[in-house]
Structure 1
């Protein structure tokens, strides 16, 4: 209710007040407080020059209406009475995070409440699944931790949980069972908010470790991405061409990754109604069988990275040859030798910076091999596309120089030197068994392997893929290949910002439910980053802003900001229509936004 008049009668007098309602975050109860003491009936009669109580009440109503108008204009000045002698209540919660409201806003826009209502009708549980999902996803962004800690974190939101911790654990099995229903509906509802770009779907796998010693049939020993000697589960992810997660797939840690692509692909085709299925993945995932599987499909195709060093000799020589390079939209060809020492070239009458250009060449090759997917031998005709970028070459050279700098430092401490992988600086150090005079060395000698460096430099700036797409799709293929890094970044976000692992759940259904909430958190972040904030801010800026958006309760209906106003905060305010950077934030203003947040039509996308 809005501000209103209240009278208090005693035996010999009557007094009037302006009161309002508010929710006390300390007692968790709704109550009223006195906004203004208006005085006794006798003093008010004297003030208004009347002896009629009805006239006094009419005048007071006009006064209250003026206060309401000021509230509507949001220009009312709030006066507070605070004393340095008064202590705050013991153990009272006074600081609340409001960053979660933006996350819940997006989830509700995607119809999470309708999705959960349909699931609840099927399972007939009584807890609020939508509230649990919203809090699990928001807490995964605000303060990622175990489910118990997440439940405690949610208590620091303005909307305190009205479900139990046991309900949180129960919900994980429900999430596991309805994984693809939830992901499908989120995808469909997001397509209603903005145009989806599924021209190319990107697939990659990672894995998550568990701090246990024994396998259990699901958490199994496999090749951990972090080289940890712990059981793992494998995790596959499909991402659309805008970098928005589409669907995921979880499977035991000892299973081959390649089969997972076909299984999740079949699921996405069935449930997500993707008309054309072009899969972009690395060579480790999209091997021969997966290539044949997609080539055989009427609407299928693939784009697969191809390590140039593993090509046949003739193909390798063609790939890094300086002649025959093309530019999209330009009729002629270029020689890389002619570009040496130049910063700009003229392309179709326009001066272009070479470092910003991506040159390419391509040729078709046939291979015939046995295939399980075809049930016999299969001939695959593939388009080999090689790109060259001076910017990429500079980047590779920069990385190598940094590793060489570390390798030279290691030469002074031979005890730490062992052969290792190409990413390690020790890769460039070789052991000599003879001296410069050809005699057997009495002790191990080490030096930088210049031949290895020279061989590696030959491939700087070059990148290759194979595909069964026609030549008319060359521009699509080149653009698609440039975006592959986003799925790697998504895994990095899940592991670092969202702290997906180590996991504090052990049952297979609980693991699936946990990873689904992490998937949704990643999806919400990507939508916030790309569709709401137009990729203006870094991952760290967005996450730190949401985590720092705290307000402090003063008294009555008043809060004050406890964060630094930044450009990101203002961008969120403009996009969502809620400005938290006010000197005083009234409970009425907060409640208004909370109602908007929980509405399905809450998005303010431009």
Structure 2
């Protein structure tokens, strides 16, 4: 917003006004309005005791300059209790979207979009559409059509046409890995990326329809829903930030996807030296063989103790022969107290991870080579009293839920899902006194007892050597983060249900959600992981500003330590008593630029 001197002239008089130039926050178009009326020439000559028009205009210009300086420090408003606000006008806007908006700029979105636009024939701004969709997914995740209304309430946000949005999804699908590769390379300049160990896992997303097609297929839903699904695989680095993803039909086996995406990483992302960490269902024999024989490759695969061979399971649960990192002593985990002695120092037992290891050989026919292959693997078992207590707590809660189900046996059905309380219920055809009775259900005490014996134990297989056991143990402590990525996508970003139908539109939608997750994880890293996902997301969503009277806005959110941290990092302080359009538009212009945020500049200097 700027002010200037303006005049109108008629036959008998010249009248002077102060005019304001401003940008409409909804249409983003420049416009003009009258700030105040100063009077006609004759009255002003009398007021200032001068005799010429030139002298009057010189005085008025000096007063306007003084008013500009004064307006920067103090804002004066005239509000009437009898005046109504304009009909159908937007009176409040979200400004928290500027933080993810800035991260996208720092990630080089403009250059990426321009490169794609030069090779394609479309008239809309791909950059604006990606920005708007990603930020709207963080601020208020709804369908693409409803996102248009969300964008209208985001201060300074470009609002694309809905048909351009749908058209862009196919373009995003076509250039998926070009976009993800460029984002990954640029992200290494603005945040910490640790890519020596990559984590891989799969989930799936459902559609609210019963009709399947070539891409949306019936498969094993993670949420046990009777709907068609698409499968989704994700690679994440040790910093907790996603690198690349893959989407494939819902009826396909997950295991092939990991090596397929690995090959894309090696080809397009310049990632060739990394350890892959995944669970046994994904990292099967052929995937392990692929990573074992690849130059500078390795793998770490979680191995459920319950599914080990009997001899190996007995070796894992044997209480003797356990070690700790940095010590040569052997421990008996069957006789642990509240503390243990490690190298002469007394340490709390629940802070220690005990381990034992041995080498094994697996012989199996490979689907890739068609030959019998031998894979030499390092089996590493770990035990933690903290993990033991956690598993016990989870099981007891499950048993209590199972006991409640027993009171209403009509709702009980068999399941092999270990997360379901029905897993600990078995069917019986005898009464408690041993005499024949009608079919009923009881707690499966034998299964509960067997599972309790395995509490606290964890196992992995890897091709890493003995001296790298510490790496293996540390890596497995971070596996939960990829599950956290999926939880954020499903809960905070509401990736599912998916409302688009065509395969390219589905791929484009999932890419938008992937980029939103990357942006959030970078902001989370800037905040030193000191806040929960819910705290950060709610703060971004609630940072709203209310229009008092053009051109003045007021913060309509609670100022907290977190809002101040975001302001310090990005330089957008939204908690001033009054915010002018001039200041807000300056924030928007800065958010569009690729220059580093204040926080990143300081980190680079250090």
Normalising by structure 1, what TM-score? Answer: 0.93
Please state if 1:385 is matched with 2:380: yes
C-alpha separation in 1, matches of 2:382 and 2:437: 48
Match of 2:313 among 316, 326, 343: 316
| Aligned match of 2:177 | 180
C-alpha separation in 2, matches of 1:185 and 1:47: 65
C-alpha separation in 2, matches of 1:539 and 1:528: 11
Match of 2:426 among 414, 424, 430: 430
How far does residue 271 in structure 1 lie from its aligned partner after superposition?
0.7
C-alpha separation in 2, matches of 1:326 and 1:2: 72
> CA separation of 1:27/1:379 partners in 2, compared to 1, >3 Å: closer, same or farther?
closer
Please state if 1:133 is matched with 2:127: no
Match of 1:558 among 552, 557, 562: 552
> CA separation of 1:348/1:16 partners in 2, compared to 1, >3 Å: closer, same or farther?
farther
> CA separation of 1:98/1:334 partners in 2, compared to 1, >3 Å: closer, same or farther?
same
> CA separation of 1:182/1:26 partners in 2, compared to 1, >3 Å: closer, same or farther?
closer
> CA separation of 1:316/1:160 partners in 2, compared to 1, >3 Å: closer, same or farther?
closer
C-alpha separation in 2, matches of 1:4 and 1:472: 74
> Is this contact kept in 2: 1:236–1:248, CA < 8 A?
yes
| Aligned match of 1:567 | 561
> Is this contact kept in 1: 2:232–2:246, CA < 8 A?
yes
| Aligned match of 1:252 | 249
> Is this contact kept in 2: 1:98–1:549, CA < 8 A?
yes
> Is this contact kept in 1: 2:555–2:576, CA < 8 A?
yes
C-alpha separation in 1, matches of 2:152 and 2:6: 34
SS at match of 1:273: coil
How far does residue 282 in structure 1 lie from its aligned partner after superposition?
0.5
CA RMSD after TM alignment: 2.3
How far does residue 400 in structure 1 lie from its aligned partner after superposition?
1.0
C-alpha separation in 2, matches of 1:551 and 1:418: 52
C-alpha separation in 1, matches of 2:217 and 2:423: 30
SS at match of 2:446: helix
> CA separation of 1:81/1:291 partners in 2, compared to 1, >3 Å: closer, same or farther?
same
How far does residue 385 in structure 1 lie from its aligned partner after superposition?
1.0
Match of 1:151 among 128, 148, 157: 148
C-alpha separation in 1, matches of 2:592 and 2:388: 49
Please state if 1:590 is matched with 2:590: no
Match of 1:220 among 217, 222, 239: 217
SS at match of 1:125: coil
| Aligned match of 2:529 | 535
| Aligned match of 1:3 | 3
> CA separation of 1:330/1:67 partners in 2, compared to 1, >3 Å: closer, same or farther?
farther
| Aligned match of 1:371 | 366
How far does residue 176 in structure 1 lie from its aligned partner after superposition?
0.7
> Is this contact kept in 2: 1:211–1:502, CA < 8 A?
yes
Normalising by structure 2, what TM-score? Answer: 0.93
Q: Which is further off, 50-59 or 295-304?
A: 50-59
> Is this contact kept in 2: 1:99–1:546, CA < 8 A?
yes
How far does residue 516 in structure 1 lie from its aligned partner after superposition?
0.7
| Aligned match of 1:496 | 491
| CA distances 1:253-280 after superposition (whole Å, capped 9, x unpaired) | 1111111111111001111111312111
C-alpha separation in 2, matches of 1:475 and 1:70: 63
C-alpha separation in 1, matches of 2:78 and 2:26: 19
> CA separation of 1:148/1:464 partners in 2, compared to 1, >3 Å: closer, same or farther?
same
Gaps in structure 1 of 5+ consecutive residues = none
C-alpha separation in 2, matches of 1:475 and 1:148: 50
C-alpha separation in 2, matches of 1:539 and 1:588: 32
> Is this contact kept in 1: 2:108–2:594, CA < 8 A?
yes
| Aligned match of 1:470 | 465
> CA separation of 1:7/1:146 partners in 2, compared to 1, >3 Å: closer, same or farther?
same
> CA separation of 1:78/1:113 partners in 2, compared to 1, >3 Å: closer, same or farther?
same
> Is this contact kept in 1: 2:192–2:239, CA < 8 A?
no
How far does residue 556 in structure 1 lie from its aligned partner after superposition?
2.4
What does 1:22-37 align with in structure 2 at a 5 Å threshold? 22-25=22-25, 29-35=29-35
Q: Which is further off, 62-71 or 346-355?
A: 62-71
How far does residue 98 in structure 1 lie from its aligned partner after superposition?
1.6
How far does residue 51 in structure 1 lie from its aligned partner after superposition?
5.4
